[in-house]
């Protein structure tokens, strides 16, 4: 609880760096891609372009904020050696991991909520399946918080914590169907896109909001996306705990 409290306190204290920029960025996306260009695009995947884009943008914000909260906070503590004040305590490793993951989820969901509120100014959104949308949001946020933790654990410099988000996550998010339906792509690139795990998360969330997504038309069920997310969570949790127990990146 202390780690979670501290994390929430931390990102709320610097709200101008953590909460406002995503809201402004998303607002610009809505203005430029939604209002100005969106009208010319017309329909996408059977929906207004703005309507199509909203679930993707919410998910993009949740993913990037969950990840960046954990990676920057944990690496910052490693860098300043304040992680030592945790390691000398009786806290078991799973609680250390849980504290940071919940911190990442808290920021991811808060930013997701802000983005949703902003999107309501631009489009009157209705949610088809609340339970599914909340499940996908939380599980994806957990997954990327775990990813951020793992990145921070192995990072040795500030460069190391920007490589994964810049060169791996951003391309996967942008090519994961935030702004377009992969049915627009040639068959070869559709097949390539199926190797992108973020595509399943964005489409599962889009399905929960709009009731339709690219997954069914490509022969995948929503359940397969959910299993994949849960599978990745189990895998990353195991790697994080194994690394913590081995002292990787935190003990000499």
Q: Which residues bind another protein (CB under 8 A)?
A: 1-3, 5-6, 9, 77, 80-82, 84-92, 247, 251-252
Question: Rounded CA gap, 74 and 60, in Å?
Answer: 21
Least distance in angstroms from the C-beta of 20 to another protein: 19
Task: Indicate the residue among 85 and 159 with the shorter CB distance to another protein.
Answer: 85
Least distance in angstroms from the C-beta of 161 to another protein: 17
Nearest to 70 by CA among 130, 120, 173, 141: 141
Task: Indicate the residue among 36 and 87 with the shorter CB distance to another protein.
Answer: 87
Write out the two tokens for 3.
């780690």
Task: Indicate the residue among 46 and 247 with the shorter CB distance to another protein.
Answer: 247
Question: Rounded CA gap, 141 and 149, in Å?
Answer: 12
Cβ atoms 212, 191 nearer than 8 A: no
Task: Indicate the residue among 211 and 247 with the shorter CB distance to another protein.
Answer: 247
Question: Rounded CA gap, 175 and 73, in Å?
Answer: 27
Name all contacts of 175-178 with Cβ < 8 Å and 24+ positions apart: 175/199, 176/56, 176/201, 176/202, 177/56, 177/202, 177/203, 177/206, 177/214, 178/53, 178/56, 178/57, 178/59, 178/60, 178/202
Least distance in angstroms from the C-beta of 23 to another protein: 24
Least distance in angstroms from the C-beta of 1 to another protein: 7
Task: Indicate the residue among 63 and 101 with the shorter CB distance to another protein.
Answer: 101
Least distance in angstroms from the C-beta of 76 to another protein: 8
């Amino acid at each position: 609880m202390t780690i979670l409290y501290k994390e929430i306190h931390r990102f709320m204290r610097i709200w101008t760096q953590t909460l406002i920029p995503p809201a402004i960025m998303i607002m610009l996306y809505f203005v430029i891609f939604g209002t100005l260009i969106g009208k010319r695009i017309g329909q996408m995947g059977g929906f207004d372009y703005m309507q199509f884009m909203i679930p993707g943008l919410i998910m993009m914000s949740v993913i990037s904020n969950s990840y960046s909260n954990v990676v920057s906070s944990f690496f910052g503590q490693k860098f300043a050696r304040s992680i030592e004040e945790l390691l000398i305590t009786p806290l078991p490793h799973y609680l250390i991991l849980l504290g940071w993951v919940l911190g990442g989820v808290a920021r991811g969901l808060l930013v997701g909520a802000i983005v949703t509120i902003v999107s309501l100014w631009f489009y009157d959104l209705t949610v088809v399946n609340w339970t599914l949308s909340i499940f996908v949001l939380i599980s994806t946020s957990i997954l990327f918080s775990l990813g951020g933790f793992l990145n921070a654990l192995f990072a040795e410099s500030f460069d190391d914590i920007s490589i994964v988000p810049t060169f791996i996550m951003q391309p996967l998010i942008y090519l994961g169907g935030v702004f377009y339906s992969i049915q627009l792509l040639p068959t070869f690139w559709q097949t390539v896109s199926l190797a992108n795990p973020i595509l399943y998360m964005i489409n599962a969330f889009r399905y929960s909001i709009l009731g339709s997504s690219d997954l069914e038309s490509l022969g995948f069920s929503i359940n397969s996306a959910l299993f994949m997310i849960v599978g990745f969570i189990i895998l990353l949790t195991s790697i994080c705990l194994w690394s913590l127990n081995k002292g990787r990146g935190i003990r000499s």
